[in-house]
Chain A
């Protein structure tokens, strides 16, 4: 369970909803260069999959 909770916190950090790294995570994950790398990866993912143009479900559903 502790591992799952840690993984949850780690995912939240990667997703930007948590400001602090979970305890025990490598410190380089909090550096700007890692953030740049992560943003690059997310941007590539966005570029790969964008263009399907479906609207958000909850907007004036």
Chain B
């Protein structure tokens, strides 16, 4: 809800965007934070958490005060990170973790019956941690008190992202776009397109996805099961990308650009590319604040695989307090490891000499992992802000216009042994002409693997295992 309620538009978005545009620049951050605080309290009271949820506005106030003491290399930043994680663990994982610990007892004496989730806690946690870490690293400015409060209470992105970065958001807040006409036109289009996607696609698919439960799976014909799962894969994409569209369009009404979250992920031909275009703000956060601190790609090869698995496991756990989410994260972690294994193997001379080009099925398998049959890496012939088509007719892998807060870092991501993941002009290993059939097969395989993973996401673990048993064994 929230973004598809009349109250969101009438009470918050339109008034806030107009006031933000009309007041003097010095008051613009305060406009954001006042409307953001009102938004948090209103929707906590009416939809999530009730009065205790509304009281959690204190978390934002505490964070904004505490973060004033952050300094580069200061232990206070580490305390800030710890307390933010503590908030998340208490509110989101208390019953899950105590349940696991107390499982041998057969009951959970520590069970919190009145447990509730403060509105947007899963997402504002990311921004709190980002700020603490980047202040510790010295890569984020301190900014003014009101500016940081406006950053964390900016309501279009408060509830479910996209996850912002302070060093990216603050300059835009201080100097928002003055192109009213373009901003409102594009913003309104984006919001309407998002709402249409949500109502006409995502909600319509609910009729199919509602069947993903033990009782329906038990009595359904076998051929129906993949259709239901595919419907869920489409639904979650339409739903979350619609949400992101509305959030990004809403921010645009203020004259502020926030990060993109999706870039045609289901069209990607390998799992690493999928992740780089699915929930992009989360992907970048995970790389910067989990994968790289764990050692990234610059440790021993076995450790890199462990890092990937840990990162994806945490990603799964963040998505929900349940074992099914853990398995979902590990599923993607294993797929990424398989991709990386293949990627490394392919770049050895032996692989180049032995991989047969003409064998289509082999090519398809290679494409699944993002690699073409043979040939050394070659740079994309695309300059910085140029059209997104390169000479070979391939869509460029990086798009400066779609990544407003992309951070150029020399550290490696989890999918590229050449340490070029976040380079704006990365090399694509073995990028070159490949047949349409091979591309189609690679896309199909990636699509199937990703959609199989959704089974763990949308059902509890016993039900998802039962689903697979019925799907594959009848």
A and B pair up: yes
Which of A1, A58, A61 has the most C-beta atoms of chain B within 10 angstroms of its own C-beta? Answer: A58
CB B54 to nearest CB in A, in angstroms, measures: 15
A14 within 8 A of B: yes
User: CA separation between A57 and B233, bound complex, in Å?
Assistant: 12
Residues of B116-133 contacting chain A, CB below 8 A? 117, 119-122
Residue of A nearest to B242 (CB): A56
Contact partner, A38, options B120, B189, B240, Cβ 8 Å: B189
User: CA separation between A15 and B319, bound complex, in Å?
Assistant: 27
Are A5 and B245 closer than 8 Å at their CB atoms? Answer: no
Are B122 and A60 closer than 8 Å at their CB atoms? Answer: yes
Residues of A1-24 contacting chain B, CB below 8 A? 1-2, 5, 8-9, 14-19, 23
Are A19 and B182 closer than 8 Å at their CB atoms? Answer: yes
B174 within 8 A of A: no
B429 within 8 A of A: no
Contact partner, B240, options A15, A19, A58, Cβ 8 Å: A58
Residues of B138-176 contacting chain A, CB below 8 A? 159-161
Are A56 and B48 closer than 8 Å at their CB atoms? Answer: no
What is the interface size of chain A, counting residues whose CB is below 8 A from a CB of the partner? Answer: 33
Residues of B382-438 contacting chain A, CB below 8 A? 387-389, 393-395, 401-402
Are B189 and A39 closer than 8 Å at their CB atoms? Answer: yes
User: What total of A-B pairs shows CB separation below 8 Å?
Assistant: 113
Q: Secondary structure of the B side of the interface?
A: helix
- Assuming the contacts A35-B189, A46-B192, A52-B199, asked whether A59 and B394 have C-beta atoms less than 8 A apart, the reply is no
Residue of B nearest to A52 (CB): B203
Residues of B contacting A17 with CB < 8 Å?
190, 245, 248, 260, 402
User: CA separation between A59 and B121, bound complex, in Å?
Assistant: 10
Are A39 and B188 closer than 8 Å at their CB atoms? Answer: yes
Residue of A nearest to B402 (CB): A17
A20-61 vs B, CB cutoff 8 Å, 1 = contact: the mask equals 000100000000100100110011011011101111111111
Residues of A contacting B161 with CB < 8 Å?
58
| Residue ranges of A at the interface with B (Cβ–Cβ < 8 Å) | 1-2, 5, 8-9, 14-19, 23, 32, 35, 38-39, 42-43, 45-46, 48-50, 52-61
Given contacts A8-B264, A17-B248, A46-B199, 5 further A-B contacts (CB under 8 A): A5-B388, A14-B189, A49-B204, A57-B235, A58-B240
30 contacts between A and B (CB under 8 A): A1-B393, A1-B395, A2-B393, A5-B393, A14-B189, A15-B189, A16-B192, A16-B249, A17-B190, A17-B245, A18-B401, A19-B182, A19-B186, A35-B189, A38-B189, A42-B192, A42-B196, A43-B192, A45-B200, A52-B199, A52-B203, A52-B206, A53-B203, A56-B4, A56-B239, A58-B240, A59-B48, A59-B120, A60-B119, A60-B120
